[in-house]
Amino acid sequence: MSKINTSSLTFKVIAGMVLGVIVGLIINLGGFNVDGSFANTYLVDGVFHTIGKLFVNALKMIVVPLVFFSLIVGVTGIGNLGKLGRVGGKTICLYFLTTAVAISFSVMLAAMLGIGEGVNAVSDTSFSGKEAPSFVDVVLSIIPANPIQAMAEGQMLAVIFFSIMVAISMLMVGRRAQPLIDGAGLANEVMMKMVQIIMWCAPYAVFALIAKSVADLGIDLMIKLGEYAIVLVLCLMLHLFVVILLILKAFTGVNVKTFMKKMRANQLFAFSTSSSNATIPVTLRTVTRRLGVDNSVASFSVPLGATINMDGTAIMQGVATVFIANMYNIDLGVTGYATVVLMAVLASIGSAGVPSAGVIMLTLIFGQLGLPLDGIALILVVDRLLDMIRTSVNITGDAAVSLIVAKSEGEFDIDVFNDPDAGILDEDDSVSVDIKTE
């Protein structure tokens, strides 16, 4: 239908990604990435590392102020506490539901395919993972004793809680708080503008991030754990293209092709950064300006989703558990599988939206089931690339749930959703950035 627009941001980001893979492969396969070599010191750990890190830092830089102001605008925009409770309840229920579906079918599929069977690995218990936070720790982290510290440390649940409390209190103060509410709206606009500026740098940063990952990893390691990786990617794709889209279609009736098309640039950001949190600014922009979800719903559902809704992460945790159990000839049994499902739902909620968080939480599940922790070291070998894919699935789930909740609340603008140009910046925008995604 539409011809390729070579000036669009998506095109440039994809070009950056492809070039990154090529350069990374040349460095890796050409054997240039040995310690102390020019390519390793000045390119991989030098230029690529620095550019990639600067970009991710820039995204992280605006996450906290953006979530803070946008939640104030969102919650005060909802206007009454009853509706706020309803929106919150629906969002959280849907997040649970999609994650539970994701983990159930992926565990079933992995068990049916018998991945990891016949390897007969023996544990040498040499690996000790980073410590995962306990469930109590996660609950305790919701209310910050010091909101400034929570903001400085980027503790998302605490920031969300504090922002909602500020907004509710503003609503209760009433008319006199209006200047503050207006100020937050303006600050939100400013933050959104900053998102545009950062997105403008994305193609170069994506090139650097991907080139570094591929140069560090290479393709051969992927192949060693190929069976695990293939089943995992299959489950992730099934969830992305079948489950999420079916749920979206069933609840809203919208054109799922349009949804996926408009999510493309967003998914590429998640892919490149491996971080739902760092992608919040882009997701928020896509969901509100491209998909037509009102900020009153999106400001709540997007940051919360980035923190607690991790369908892709849950799928990884399920498949990895079955894979390692089979590798070590440990029979999980029906109770074991049920425990995996329950634990993965909880662990994915507890996983922060940052790179590799899902693997750290995997130690919780392994510990509960008595699986050898050195299995996680194996999983880690191929985790970087798989993390990129599952993060894209994670944020797509957040966007779909935001849309479903917004539709049910009458906060969804179908005209914006159907307009292919909605949310695309004007040519004469002061920072001329083209964020067309198709």
Binding site for ligand ASP (CB under 6 A): 274-276, 310, 313, 351, 353-358, 387, 390-391, 394
Size (the chain), residues: 438
- Pick between residue 17 and residue 184 the one whose CB is nearest to ligand ASP: 17
Which amino acid is residue 264, in one-letter code? R
Residue nearest to ligand ASP (CB): 358
CB of 276 to ligand ASP, least distance (A): 3
Q: CA-CA distance, 395 to 223, in Å (whole number)?
A: 27
Instruction: Work out how close the CB of 364 gets to ligand ASP at its nearest, in angstroms, rounded to a whole number.
Output: 13
The residue among 11 and 271 lying less far from ligand ASP, judged by its C-beta, is 271
- Backbone conformation region of residue 329, classed left if phi is above 0, alpha if psi is from -120 to 50, else beta: left
Of the pair 294, 387, the CB lying nearest ligand ASP is at 387
In whole angstroms, give the CA distance from residue 219 to residue 25: 8
Closer residue to ligand ASP in complex, CB, 71/320: 320
Burial class of 323 by CB neighbour count within 10 A (0 to 12, 13 to 18, 19+): buried
Could you tell me the smallest distance in angstroms from the CB atom of residue 424 to ligand ASP?
A: 26
Nearer to ligand ASP among residue 147 and residue 350 (C-beta): 350
- Least distance (Å) between residue 275 CB and ligand ASP: 4
- The residue among 296 and 313 lying less far from ligand ASP, judged by its C-beta, is 313
Residue 426 DSSP SS3: coil
A 10 A CB-CB count for 240 gives 24
Rounded to the nearest 5 percent, the helix, strand and coil shares of the chain are 75, 0, 25
Nearest distance from C-beta of residue 279 to ligand ASP, angstroms: 8
Nearer to ligand ASP, 276 or 299 (CB): 276
Least distance CB 167 / ligand ASP (angstroms): 25
CB 214 within 8 A of CB 21: yes
Quick one: 94 or 280, whose CB is closer to ligand ASP? 280
Contact 399, 287 (CB under 8 A): yes
Residue that the structure tokens 């606009």 belong to: 189
Q: Which of 394, 363, 364 is nearest to 379 (CA)?
A: 363
Give the C-alpha separation, 109 to 236, whole Å: 12
Cα separation values, 405 from 98, 128, 325, 353, 402, Å: 13, 41, 38, 21, 5
Least gap, CB of 4 to ligand ASP (angstroms)? 29
